[in-house]
């Protein structure tokens, strides 16, 4: 069982006051805070092990290489993936999805082929596919959302057909919190001979994930949303898939042999990690993975689901507040988006900030979803392991203040 009070002791940033009130950080879907263990791992790496990796013979280079590669193994274990070589480190989810659209998409998607997405995607799972469609003449197809804020699976099924080359879906919506049936959609894709890409930016931090059980072909996520540093993303690919792909970027570390007119490539995963990677932050990400694994992702999920249920209960008693997304907390992750007309989401976030409560307001990089909901923006509270019921009550108190201001 998770004890947020104990956990909070590991997060120095949460000790501060904001606008004269204790900081209540509820913007975890944007990025989480970092425990001391991660911060110390980063500092320790620079104080004891810093060197460039893979090419060096000297002791520090070997040590840095071992530490970096060990995190590849930890990442594979975190995803229940059998092979660390199927993990490529990128800068973030966005770069991981661009890698797929470029390195796999350019070779396999042609004019008239179809790419199936959904209206609840983050821009990072839309724009790379739009660019691919523009390069190749492929067509984009978007599955809609039911009035309850769930993905319309019948529509997904109807869209996937013989022309479908790739289906790319978020595992969990960063706005609605909806957890999507990606295994079921992956099965539909497989039967049509299409590839299944899962945007795991919001799921990997909050749910137990087993990529092999999900049956997907690619799974992408970001370290910074799961207690790790910024600047590290992960792309996992089904066994053998990376080998069929040409590199995304060229340069040092990704080659086997360079001649004047052409080169050959290093083995996977190095073929996809051109140049000096973000070594220190990858090493520190290892500490974040250890932290989450020690808690257990099942316990993380249980804690955040209970908190979400409590938040939905508290917020439903606030006059004039409407929530977006599924009604049941077990069908969603720890994200609650809401409206309080006539207060603009920016006004709501500003008043909340006055109470020391950090929430997000805006389109959340999901403009297609905003259009579907018929709003320009929403307010969003999102939870992590260090949040507790007091935090939700502080949010509710701030929202009562919004009602006093806007009548
Ligand atoms: N996908 C989803 C569902 C997200 O919530 C986010 C970030 O908010 C991203 C992708 C992009 O992540 P990053 O900015 O780390 O690339």
Residue ending a domain, choose from 247, 269, 293:
293
If asked whether residues 188 and 330 sit together in one domain, one would say no
Does 122 lie in the same domain as 246? yes
Q: Which residues approach ligand 1 with their CB closer than 6 A?
A: 29, 92-94, 122, 124-125, 170, 174, 199, 201-202, 222, 365
Q: What is the CATH number of the domain that holds 87?
A: 3.40.640.10
Find, among 6, 12, 200, the residue nearest to 100 by Cα.
200
Q: Measure 276 CA to ligand 1 centroid, in angstroms.
A: 23
Verify that 92 and 222 share a domain, yes or no: yes
Whole-structure pTM value:
0.98
Range of the domain at 372: 296-406
pLDDT at 407: 77
- Residue 323 belongs to domain with CATH number: 3.90.1150.10
The full DSSP string for 27-50 is BTTT-----HHHHHHHHHHHHHT-
281 and 325 share a domain? no
Judge residue 401's burial from the number of C-beta atoms within 10 Å of its C-beta, 0-12 exposed, 13-18 middle, 19 or more buried: middle
Vertex 208: Cα angle to 41 and 101 (nearest 5): 85
Atom of ligand 1 nearest to the CA of 30: 8
Written as six digits, the tokens of 166 are 């790739």
Q: Is residue 364 part of a domain?
A: yes
CA of 397 to the centre of ligand 1 (A): 29
Q: Which of 30, 174, 230 for mutating ligand 1's site (highest number of atoms within 8 Å of CB)? A: 174
Pocket test for ligand 1, best of 101, 120, 202, 366 (most atoms within 8 A of CB): 202
> Dihedrals φ, ψ of 92, to 5°?
-175, 180
Cα 42 to Cα 26: distance, rounded to the nearest angstrom: 25
Which residue lies with its CA nearest to atom 6 of ligand 1? 201
Number of domains in the chain: 2
Residues of the chain whose pLDDT is less than 70? none
CA of 403 from ligand 1 middle (Å) equals 31
Pocket of ligand 1, candidates 207, 365, 384: which has the most ligand atoms within 8 Å of its Cβ, to mutate?
365
Atom of ligand 1 nearest to the CA of 199: 1
> What DSSP character marks residue 225?
G
Are residues 375 and 287 both part of a single domain?
Answer: no
Q: Which atom of ligand 1 is nearest to the CA of 365?
A: 8
Measured in Å, residue 299 CA sits from the centre of ligand 1 at 23
- Asked if 402 and 300 sit in the same domain, the reply is yes
Residue 303 within a domain = yes
From the CA of 124, how far away is ligand 1's center (Å)? 7
Looking at the structure, do residues 250 and 301 belong to the same domain, yes or no? no
pLDDT tens track for 61-87: 999 999 999 999 999 999 999 999 999
Task: Choose, from 365, 370, 373, 381, the residue flagged as catalytic.
Answer: 365
Task: Respond yes or no: is residue 216 known to be catalytic.
Answer: no
DSSP state string for 289-352? HHHHHHH-HHHHHHHHHHHHHHHHHHHHTSTT-EE-S-S-GGGB-SEEEEEBTTB-HHHHHHHH
Query: Which pLDDT belongs to residue 55?
Result: 82
């Amino acid at each position: 069982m998770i004890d947020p009070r104990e956990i909070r002791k590991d997060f120095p940033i949460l000790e501060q006051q904001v606008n004269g009130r204790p900081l209540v950080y509820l913007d975890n879907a944007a990025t989480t805070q970092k425990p001391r263990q991660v911060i110390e791992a980063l500092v320790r790496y620079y104080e004891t092990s810093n060197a460039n990796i893979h090419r060096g013979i000297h002791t520090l280079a070997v040590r840095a290489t071992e530490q970096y590669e060990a995190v590849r193994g930890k990442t594979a274990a975190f995803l229940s993936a059998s092979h660390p070589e199927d993990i490529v480190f990128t800068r973030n989810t966005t770069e991981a999805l661009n890698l797929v659209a470029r390195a796999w998409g350019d070779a396999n998607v042609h004019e008239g082929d179809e790419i199936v997405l959904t209206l609840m995607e983050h821009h990072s799972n839309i724009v790379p596919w739009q660019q691919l469609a523009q390069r190749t003449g492929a067509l984009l197809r978007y599955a809609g959302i039911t009035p309850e804020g769930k993905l319309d699976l019948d529509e997904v099924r109807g869209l996937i057909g013989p022309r479908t080359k790739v289906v790319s879906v978020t595992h969990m919506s960063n706005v609605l919190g909806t957890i999507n049936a990606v295994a079921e959609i992956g099965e539909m894709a497989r039967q049509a001979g299409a590839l299944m890409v899962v945007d795991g930016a919001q799921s990997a931090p909050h749910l137990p994930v087993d990529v092999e059980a999900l049956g997907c072909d690619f799974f992408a996520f970001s370290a910074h949303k799961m207690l790790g540093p910024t600047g590290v993303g992960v792309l996992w690919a089904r066994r053998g898939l990376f080998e069929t792909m040409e590199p995304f970027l060229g340069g040092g570390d990704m080659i086997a042999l360079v001649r004047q007119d052409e080169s050959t490539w290093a083995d996977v995963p190095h073929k996809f990690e051109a140049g000096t990677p973000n070594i220190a932050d990858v090493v520190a990400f290892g500490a974040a993975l250890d932290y989450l694994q020690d808690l257990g992702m099942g316990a993380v999920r249980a804690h955040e689901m209970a908190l979400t249920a409590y938040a939905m209960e508290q917020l439903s008693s606030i006059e004039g507040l409407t929530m977006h997304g599924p009604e049941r907390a077990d069908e969603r992750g720890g994200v609650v988006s809401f409206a309080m007309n006539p207060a603009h989401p920016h006004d709501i976030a500003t008043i909340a900030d006055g109470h020391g409560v950090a929430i997000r307001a805006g389109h959340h990089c999901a403009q297609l979803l905003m259009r579907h909901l018929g709003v320009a923006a929403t307010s969003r509270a999102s939870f992590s392991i260090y949040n507790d019921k007091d935090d939700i009550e502080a949010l509710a108190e701030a929202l009562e203040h919004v009602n006093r201001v806007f009548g």
